[in-house]
Amino acid sequence: MLQRPRRNRKSEAIRNMIAETQLHKNDLIYPLFVVDGKNFKSPIESMPNCFRWSLDLLLHELDECCNLGLQHFVLFPAVDDHLKDKIASYSYKEDNFYLKAIRSIKERFPTITIMSDVAMDPYSSDGHDGFVEDGQILNDKTLPILAKMATAQAQAGIDIIGPSDMMDGRIRKIREELDQGGYQNTSIMSYTAKYASSFYGPFRDALDSAPKAGDKKTYQMDPRNKREALIEAELDELEGADFLMVKPALSYLDVIQTLSENSNLPVSAYNVSGEYAMVHAAAEKGWLDYENTYIEILTSIKRAGANMILSYFAKDFVKR
């Protein structure tokens, strides 16, 4: 035999030398949940080791994460029910605890990246990402609300706006309003191909943000489709997105690959709550090895073409 592929696998050192994919802490964006209040840290049952933090404790947590070498974070608000309404008005209220948290974090950690979430669901009494009327999610009535939310976040100092709502035309609307407000340097990472997925279950528990009626299938993408992701990508590029995202990640590696091959923008992938929960559940039962499994998952997402990965595993990865 002239060719023996096993020669290139004969030692750990050689395997490391020829490895095509290197996972690095710079690639990782760590999601964190923030709540109003003080000295508060509440566990999320379906997401072991993830918590809803009040700002004071969140600052400590960020300190720890930064010392471990993480530098990118995405922040989600868990909003009290009594603050929710049909138009998500709390999302752009001056004294909103989420906006205050963004301000304090940027003051305390000026060099890290903080990304936001733009969608109505955490603030909406309907639990939908858009404005609901007669059971319909109205696209064009949602756009100004999203733009207002994004502008409020930009004003608070967010580095990257993360529209996760899947309304048509929202990237353009947000970009225009940001520019008009003087926030030309605020970036947009569009949730470009966000699928109507069952893998968001634990996240909706964490924020108590599940739809009160119906599902999200009229705006989030159909898991059966891949070519449609190219339409979304083209629109996001034309409308001014700085980054594209595929979400979830693990069941959509082919979509990550397709977008990364067809766009010159950086492509990220969201390794979502359900993907995190299932590894934990199996590891708890002793059916999977926790560390090896999640590293294999993150590696596969990077190998598929993601430049960066939003993942609840990020902290464990840098802690090893």
* Member of 46, 116, 151, 164 binding ligand PBG (CB under 6 A): 164
How do 41-43 and 113-115 pair as beta strands? unpaired
- Supply the minimum distance, in Å, between the C-beta of residue 276 and ligand PBG: 7
List residues with catalytic annotation: 194, 247
Shortest Cβ distance from residue 79 to ligand PBG (Å)?
12
* Interaction of residue 126 with ligand PBG, rule CB under 6 A: no
Residues 6+ apart with CB under 8 A from 248: 195, 197, 199, 200, 270, 271, 272, 274, 275
Least spacing, CB of residue 164 vs ligand PBG, in Å: 4
Nearer to ligand PBG, 9 or 33 (CB): 33
How many residues lie near ligand PBG (CB under 6 A)? 11
Q: CA gyration radius for the chain?
A: 20
CB of 182 to ligand PBG, least distance (A): 27
- Burial class of residue 112 in the structure, from the number of CB atoms within 10 Å of its CB (0-12 exposed, 13-18 middle, 19+ buried): middle
Find residue 131's DSSP bridge partners. 138
Span 226-285, contacts to ligand PBG by CB under 6 A: 272-273
203 binds ligand PBG (CB under 6 A): yes
Stretch that binds ligand PBG, among 18-26, 93-101, 181-189, 196-204 (CB under 6 A): 196-204
121 binds ligand PBG (CB under 6 A): yes
Using CA atoms, how far residue 85 sits from 34, 68, 104, 151, 218, in Å, is 19, 39, 26, 19, 21
Nearer to ligand PBG, 117 or 177 (CB): 117
Nearer to ligand PBG, 265 or 272 (CB): 272
- CA nearest neighbour of 269 among 291, 302, 224: 302
Q: What are phi and psi of 97, to 5 degrees?
A: -65, -30
CB nearer to ligand PBG: pick between 122 and 305: 122
Piece of the chain touching ligand PBG by CB under 6 A; list 11-19, 77-85, 140-148, 199-207: 199-207
The window from 174-182, 197-205, 223-231, 250-258 that contacts ligand PBG (CB under 6 A) reads: 197-205
Under the binding rule (CB under 6 A), the answer on residue 129 touching ligand PBG is: yes
Largest alpha-carbon pair distance within the chain? 72
172 binds ligand PBG (CB under 6 A): no
In the numeric block, which tokens belong to residue 171? 């990237």
Q: In the set 30, 200, 219, 313, which binds ligand PBG (CB under 6 A)?
A: 200
* 57 vs 167 by CB, closer to ligand PBG: 167
Smallest distance, ligand PBG to C-beta of residue 8, A: 37
| Least Å from the CB of residue 99 to ligand PBG | 17
The region of 21-29, 56-64, 151-159, 198-206 touching ligand PBG under the rule CB under 6 A is: 198-206
Distance CA 125, CA 127 (A): 6
* Shortest distance, position 74 Cβ to ligand PBG, whole Å: 9
Applying CB under 6 A, which residues contact ligand PBG?
117, 119, 121, 129, 164-165, 200, 203-204, 272-273
